[in-house]
Structure 1
Amino acid sequence: MRVKFRMIGPRSLTARVLLLATLWSALALVVISIVISQLYRQSAERAFTDLLRAQLYNVINSITIGDDNKLAGSPQLGDLRFSQPETGWYWIIEPLGTFAATPLSSSSLGTSNISVPSILAVPFNNRYERFYPAIDAYKNHVLVAETEVVLDGDGRAARFRVSGNLAVVEEDIQAFTRSLYIALAVFGFGSLVVNGLAILYGLQPLDGARRSLERVRRGEAERLEGEFPREIMPLASDINALIESNRRIVERARMQVGNLAHSLKTPIAVLLNESRAVEKVQSDMVRSQAEGMQAQVQSYLNRARIAAQRESLLARTELEPVLERLVRVMRRLNPEKEFHLSVFPPGVALAMEQQDVEETIGNLLENAARFCETGVWITATPTSGPQSGEGETARRSWVEVSVEDDGPGLEPDQIREAMKRGRRLDESKPGAGLGLSIVREITGEYQGSVELTRGTRGGLRAQLLLPGIAKEAS
């Protein structure tokens, strides 16, 4: 059972590596920013708690019980916010139990107070301290540090509370977070640029190998050329060895085809000569069979040669010069008829041997010139080719060549009959009836196609789909 894996994401290796590196860097920077900001928040909140604890014990150390049995003392915490109203920074001292002294508070609290949660809701820790959030009368979110202290030997005690505005912590965290995001963004952008340059530099040898292979495919070079790193050199060497092996196979096939053609040429010529010495009925039959045999042999020799070099990277033919040469020949042979040629864009090339291109299109031109009334129209243009299928065949470049005449044309059933080997619909015209079948066989060997329809000018229109050579991507 054959399992097919479909490629996900961009086909370019460079684009794929850049995309993965970018996504990973972005994800890593996001995670790092979240982790650092959370760690800083914990550190800032812990420092804020320690500050409130220090201020709480400063207040405790500043308060005593006076001779009048009242709370006495004036805490100096060195922070003006404890003396400014509505700041959220307060200290409060409240007598407990039977100690009926007047409570003391910072001037910033004014006449308001901060609610105290129950001990069950917020218990004291092992240091007999507790910290809890609260909202003062001015809608400030504050953190309160609280403890209870016995002030003298008589057991008189008081509750000490110090609060700080949590907005200070949030502002500090937000300022740090903004700076962190800016720094990470700059670092991330720089990292992406450096990573991109490193990836492009690292993959440059692969791009060089691709361009070298494109030059081989376009017929501009016979092997991969250039300096390749150690990791790519074995691949380049194997490709060069494959190209050389393919070239030897093609040359050997061509030699064998030539030898076979040469060995059959003399016997067939002898048969044709001997046919002239017998009676006309036998002569016509022998000559017809010999000509048919000659055409059949040539057709199968062509198919063998095409099969030997069909997959060769070196097969390349510039289409426009070949068509211009064929049109010049047809104009000389048919001076009374017009031949119109259009190739767009210029420089279209086929992945075919020149001999096969000439034989394929030449057969169509001969048929069109034989049956047209006034002229023949030839057009060639790149096309998307087959839309179905997978693999190299579906992705390769294709060229559509159209040969149309203004003759009587053919009906659908006549088109099917004309594509059969040796069938001639008009016996008054010269020919062996092999032209269209040869065209179909050659195009089929190159994985192309031929289609006959009625053209816009009323005559027959032959559309060839032939393998092209894509231009190198920039």
Structure 2
Amino acid sequence: MKIRSLTARVLILATLWSALALVTIAVAISALYRQGVERGFNNLLRAQLYNVVNSVSVGEGESLTGSPALGDLRFSQPETGWYWLVEPLGSYQAAPLASASLGVSNLPTPDVSVTPFDINYERFYEMADEAGNRIRVVETEVVLDDQGRAARFRVTGNIEVVEEEIAFFSSRLNMALGVVGIGSLLLNGGAIVYGLRPVDRARRALERIRRGEAERLEGEFPSEIMPLATEINALIDSNRRIVERARMQVGNLAHSLKTPIAVLLNEARTLDTAHAGVVTSQAESMQAQVTTYLNRARIAAQRDSVLARTEAQPVIERLVRVMRKLNGEVNFELEIAPDLTFAMEQQDVEEVVGNLLENASRFAKSTIATRVKAVNREDDAGDGRRRWVEIVIEDDGPGLAPEQIGEALKRGRRLDESKPGTGLGLSIVKEISGEYQGSFGLSRSALGGLRAHLILPAVSKETA
């Protein structure tokens, strides 16, 4: 799964690296400690072995004599795994000597070909005694006198002592490394969050621009982020200049065409009736087309601009108040969600909502209901879900049949000639909503009349 949070990415990578490093350190230290403990254990057994060697000799009657004092009570306690044993070799026949802990038991001797002696004529090997203890044996063979009598000397130690020592050390080591790991994780998390605070400040500054609360990326940023902030401000300034230039050009074009069209309309009134009707209709068509395409050019210049922001509640409430004054016999119901902001120019919002309210008031009998709320839907560009404003305006008038809806959306078409109007309102709503990548549709209302459903872009409150 793709991780979008930069903080989460750095924290996860730092945590994984710290965990890997701590595990590696734990394994390495445990292995080194095991080697040291085993080396010390072998040295202890070797020292005890030569203590036994120095304590045993050939006595009277060629018997083995001696009483090694190893200073460890485990050599006198049965089945402890700590034993010493002296056995005569070759033609030398004598009773073996053994520690009290070994009792009447015996220790098997592995073949020299399997476990050979080293250069010091010692060999170490492991086995299990009759009590089930895992023991390590150090063995050597020594000539006892000038007669050539020799004996095999063996001393054993319980390996469980080594394992317990290693387990104790490992538990303490893991505990210490765990505390260090948790501390490092908290320290890394704090350092990462603190280090990325400028990025969060930049995000909040961008969010203020998106909400229309600021026009530039303001604040002090580190040297790594400052170039980005500078480029964003330059982009905003460039966008503002483009929008202003487009507005100026649109205004100039509208002004230059307005007077010639007005002259044509005035001159048409002086013509005879047959020719006046043709000239007037064509001039009005020219006027409508100029207005339409100038609006399209203006909307295209400002669409997706961070500067095009309009709060929904005050604009729509003002339009409804005006309609209530103009249509005192009609009850206007309004439900609007708070904190909604259109990503549109105010005049475009007023144009589409005003046209729909005016159309509804023209045909409504007694009630017009308006509902405004936020919705989320998939972006047409495939960039994920975006925030939109849904506007539903319903009336209890006669409504339209399904086959009439398509005709009503055509420019200049009026289905009821008895009502005042130019037939341009619904087509203007459709064109403006389309220019903003929204949608507009008509259907039968639950109140009995017409239901206008409008989707317009909203300013997203989500962080990028």
Structure 1 residue 426: Cα displacement: 2.9
Which residue of 2 is the match for residue 430 of structure 1?
420
Equivalent residues of 1:373, 1:407 under 8 A apart: yes
With over 3 angstroms needed to count, the CA separation of the structure-2 counterparts of 1:389 and 1:304, relative to structure 1, is closer
Structure 1 residue 388: Cα displacement: 6.2
Q: Does 1:347 align with 2:339?
A: yes
Task: Write the distance in 2 (CA, Å) between the matches of 1:446 and 1:18.
Answer: 40
Which residue of 2 is the match for residue 358 of structure 1?
350
CA RMSD of aligned residues (A): 2.0
Equivalent residues of 2:207, 2:463 under 8 A apart: no
Which residue of 1 is the match for residue 371 of structure 2?
379
User: Could you say what secondary structure the match of 1:142 adopts?
Assistant: strand
> Which range moves more in the overlay, 26-35 or 309-318?
26-35
Q: Does 1:414 align with 2:407?
A: no
Equivalent residues of 2:203, 2:463 under 8 A apart: no
Amino acid at match of 1:441: E
With over 3 angstroms needed to count, the CA separation of the structure-2 counterparts of 1:386 and 1:374, relative to structure 1, is farther
Which residue of 1 is the match for residue 236 of structure 2?
243
User: Could you say what secondary structure the match of 2:60 adopts?
Assistant: coil
Structure 1 residue 180: Cα displacement: 0.8
Q: Does 1:64 align with 2:54?
A: no
Structure 1 residue 63: Cα displacement: 0.9
Which residue of 2 is the match for residue 3 of structure 1?
none
Matching residue within 6, 9, 21 for 2:2: 9
Matching residue within 112, 123, 127 for 2:120: 127
Which residue of 2 is the match for residue 73 of structure 1?
66
For residues 457-472 of structure 1, the aligned pairs below 5 Å read: 457-471=447-461
Q: Does 1:451 align with 2:444?
A: no
Equivalent residues of 1:292, 1:432 under 8 A apart: no
For residues 217-232 of structure 1, the aligned pairs below 5 Å read: 217-232=210-225
Matching residue within 242, 253, 264 for 1:260: 253
Task: Write the distance in 1 (CA, Å) between the matches of 2:455 and 2:270.
Answer: 46
With over 3 angstroms needed to count, the CA separation of the structure-2 counterparts of 1:28 and 1:456, relative to structure 1, is farther
Amino acid at match of 2:70: L
Structure 1 length-normalised TM: 0.93
Structure 1 residue 265: Cα displacement: 1.8
Matching residue within 416, 440, 444 for 2:430: 440
With over 3 angstroms needed to count, the CA separation of the structure-2 counterparts of 1:242 and 1:268, relative to structure 1, is same
With over 3 angstroms needed to count, the CA separation of the structure-2 counterparts of 1:389 and 1:96, relative to structure 1, is farther
Task: Write the distance in 1 (CA, Å) between the matches of 2:434 and 2:3.
Answer: 32
Task: Write the distance in 2 (CA, Å) between the matches of 1:354 and 1:12.
Answer: 35
For residues 145-160 of structure 1, the aligned pairs below 5 Å read: 145-160=138-153
With over 3 angstroms needed to count, the CA separation of the structure-2 counterparts of 1:43 and 1:458, relative to structure 1, is farther
Which residue of 1 is the match for residue 130 of structure 2?
137
> Which range moves more in the overlay, 368-377 or 213-222?
368-377
Matching residue within 297, 314, 318 for 1:321: 314
Matching residue within 167, 170, 176 for 1:174: 167
With over 3 angstroms needed to count, the CA separation of the structure-2 counterparts of 1:339 and 1:282, relative to structure 1, is farther
Task: Write the distance in 2 (CA, Å) between the matches of 1:128 and 1:458.
Answer: 111
Structure 2 length-normalised TM: 0.95
Equivalent residues of 1:81, 1:89 under 8 A apart: yes
Structure 1 residue 175: Cα displacement: 0.8
Structure 1 residue 372: Cα displacement: 2.6
Equivalent residues of 1:356, 1:442 under 8 A apart: yes
Task: Write the distance in 1 (CA, Å) between the matches of 2:448 and 2:91.
Answer: 121
Task: Write the distance in 1 (CA, Å) between the matches of 2:281 and 2:366.
Answer: 32
With over 3 angstroms needed to count, the CA separation of the structure-2 counterparts of 1:223 and 1:92, relative to structure 1, is same
Q: Report how many residues are paired.
A: 464
Matching residue within 75, 79, 83 for 1:82: 75
With over 3 angstroms needed to count, the CA separation of the structure-2 counterparts of 1:456 and 1:160, relative to structure 1, is farther
Identity value in percent: 65
Structure 1 residue 26: Cα displacement: 1.7
Task: Write the distance in 1 (CA, Å) between the matches of 2:406 and 2:125.
Answer: 94
Structure 1 residue 395: Cα displacement: 4.3
With over 3 angstroms needed to count, the CA separation of the structure-2 counterparts of 1:38 and 1:412, relative to structure 1, is farther
Task: Write the distance in 2 (CA, Å) between the matches of 1:279 and 1:428.
Answer: 26
Q: Structure 2 regions of 5+ residues with no counterpart?
A: none
Task: Write the distance in 2 (CA, Å) between the matches of 1:400 and 1:252.
Answer: 31
With over 3 angstroms needed to count, the CA separation of the structure-2 counterparts of 1:170 and 1:220, relative to structure 1, is same
Amino acid at match of 1:438: I
Matching residue within 45, 51, 56 for 2:44: 51
With over 3 angstroms needed to count, the CA separation of the structure-2 counterparts of 1:424 and 1:127, relative to structure 1, is farther
With over 3 angstroms needed to count, the CA separation of the structure-2 counterparts of 1:420 and 1:124, relative to structure 1, is farther
Equivalent residues of 2:242, 2:301 under 8 A apart: yes
User: Could you say what secondary structure the match of 1:122 adopts?
Assistant: coil
Structure 1 residue 473: Cα displacement: 5.0
Which residue of 1 is the match for residue 99 of structure 2?
106
Which residue of 2 is the match for residue 4 of structure 1?
none
Q: Does 1:210 align with 2:190?
A: no
> Which range moves more in the overlay, 179-188 or 25-34?
25-34
Amino acid at match of 2:9: R
Structure 1 residue 82: Cα displacement: 1.1
Structure 1 residue 387: Cα displacement: 5.9
Q: Does 1:401 align with 2:391?
A: yes
